[in-house]
Amino acid sequence: MTSKLYLVPTPIGNYKDITIRALEVLNDVDFIICEEFKEARRLLSHFKIEKPLVSLNEHNEKEASEEIFQNIKSGKTAAIISDCGTPLFSDPGLPLVQMCIDSNIDIISLPGANSLLPALVASGFDISKFYYAGWLSPKKDLRKKELIKLKAKKELIVIMETPYRLKLILTDVERIFGGDINICLAYNLTLPTEKLYRGTASEILSIAKRENLKGEFVLIINNK
């Protein structure tokens, strides 16, 4: 009876960023838990890994978690991966992890790819302390209220968002924090199109409009 649940980070863009240990775990476990079959199959096929896949996402999390938990509890080992990056980091999986913790099943979390730390360390800002705001509301009015609250925090603020809201977020930041606030936009990290834009909110918004930027990004606001 070797019940274990591994939390395995996967590359955020560049497949070369996967770790040797992650590959070993994915090869050794009995089955792999993923968000979307398409993304998981593409990754596993690239590394020639063949394992049974089980889907766990925002649409089936409650029902799927119980079934997966019972399989693990019966003595199986499983790895949970997200579509990219570190699992459970704003991704499904917490109820399953909590079930395993409550039943004293080992949870092994592997270090690996994420977008947060690479963006921070390359920003040029003092990162000894920072506030992680995560994903803001997709609703315009709620998002503005959230940003107004964030403006009151005199800290380095980290925001993550979906590609198609990049220019909207930058526009809101310019209006609420002021056009002269210093920011860093970490764009398409690990990909050939990777770029770190550093400057004022107005400057980077102009670049985003001019170059029609649309990609994965982390936004860091120096609100100290």
Where in the chain are all domains bearing CATH 3.30.950.10?
116-222
Share of the chain above pLDDT 90, in %: 93
- Distance CA(150)–CA(130), nearest Å, equals 12
Q: What does the pLDDT look like over 43-60, one tens digit per residue? A: 999 999 999 999 999 889
Provide the pLDDT for residue 125: 98
Nearest 10 degrees: Cα torsion 48, 28, 55, 191: -50
- Domain 116-222 maps to which CATH number in 3.30.950.10, 3.30.70.980, 3.40.50.2000, 3.40.50.620? 3.30.950.10
| Contact assessment for residue 118 and residue 160, using Cβ atoms and an 8 Å cutoff | no
Provide the pLDDT for residue 43: 97
- Distance CA(156)–CA(222), nearest Å, equals 5
Where in the chain are all domains bearing CATH 3.40.1010.10?
4-109
Provide the pLDDT for residue 68: 97
Classify residue 152 by its DSSP letter: T
- Distance CA(84)–CA(162), nearest Å, equals 13
Q: What does the pLDDT look like over 146-172, one tens digit per residue? A: 999 999 999 999 999 888 899 999 999
CATH 2.115.10.20 for the 4-109 domain, yes or no: no
Provide the pLDDT for residue 1: 57
